[in-house]
Amino acid sequence: MSSVLGVVLPIFGLILAGYLCRRTGRLGETAAAELNRFVVWLCLPALLFRTTATARWEDIWHPGFIAAVTLPTLLLFAVTVGYRLRGRRRLVDASIDGLGAAYANTGYVGIPLSLLVLGEAGLAPALIATLIVVCVLFAIAVVCIEVGLQDEPSFVQALAKVFKALARNPLVVSPLVGALWALGGVPLDGPFDDFLRLLGDATTPCALVSLGLFLAQKQSGSAEGAWGLVGLKLLVHPLITWVLAFHVFALPPLWAKSALLMSALPTGTGPYMLAEFYGREAAVVSRTVLLSTLGSVVTLSLCLYWL
């Protein structure tokens, strides 16, 4: 329990810092949106680019582990989006909700927790899980959102507008450029790497402070659907992953344990950042991040005890 608290408490500290800054007037009404814009246009693209540009194929190609992490993640995203669409929710908002159910906080909680529990050997699977979440899942969600925003009567025109919007989206372009950099074999070092690392390191604290700022504001929308997303993230996600990792793919113990830990993580700030970036109602996802982080203290502790 102390290990989990040691990782989770700083998250609440950053959220609380943003909350108090807004409540006391130290930061203004537009601070949440502007800080989030800083993350989306500078910090997160730097992190995505650096992660993919420095990744080596031999380090990340573990098919069984990739399948055990990817399949439940994409399944939860697809099921949530489909269910929300049946409830007459727009594809844009349904996609953000889908992220709320499937987007694990692998970067800020997953990596340090893996190092605490599994040692240095746990870093590689945690990094692979991070790539899957922030590159694959995030990119799919962005594509769905961009498709949902189009209202062109012609399919060809709508498709062209989607591709044009994606080509301007830093969250899609940065990992692709990073992958091309890695394929070129050019080492990423020196001042440029330091610049990217500094920006990337600012992603999580800025996103969490921005979330605290948002929570301190008056919420106009309903957060009724948050509990369902929290249940999917903290209970259903690890259950499916446990079946795949331990029974279907029969992964080696280290990789199976890491897959389960990654799936039991709370929702990261990615859904909230997208909701703010696209100007959508963020009440549901902001509460999903907060409640799942609170609940993960219990579920992760149970998971660690079982392991």
Domain count, the chain: 1
How many Å is the Cα radius of gyration of the chain?
19
Domain around 101: 2-306
**φ, ψ for residue 156, nearest 5 deg:** -65, -45
Kindly tell me if the per-residue pLDDT of 222 is higher than 80: no
Is residue 181 a contact partner of residue 53, using CB atoms and an 8 Å limit? Answer: yes
Comparing CA positions, the residue from 49, 22, 305, 91 lying closest to residue 192 is 49
Kindly tell me if the per-residue pLDDT of 156 is higher than 80: no
Q: How confident is the model at residue 124 (pLDDT cuts 50, 70, 90)?
A: confident
Give the C-alpha separation, 227 to 98, whole Å.
13
Kindly tell me if the per-residue pLDDT of 218 is higher than 80: no
Q: For position 152, what pLDDT does the model report?
A: 60
CATH of the domain at 37: 1.20.1530.20
- Render pLDDT for 163-207 as a digit per residue (tens, 0 to 9): 777 777 787 788 889 888 988 888 888 899 999 999 988 887 888
Q: How confident is the model at residue 153 (pLDDT cuts 50, 70, 90)?
A: low
Q: Is the pTM of the predicted complex or chain greater than 0.85? A: no
Kindly tell me if the per-residue pLDDT of 233 is higher than 90: yes
Average pLDDT, the chain: 85
Q: For position 120, what pLDDT does the model report?
A: 72
Is residue 122 a contact partner of residue 255, using CB atoms and an 8 Å limit? Answer: no
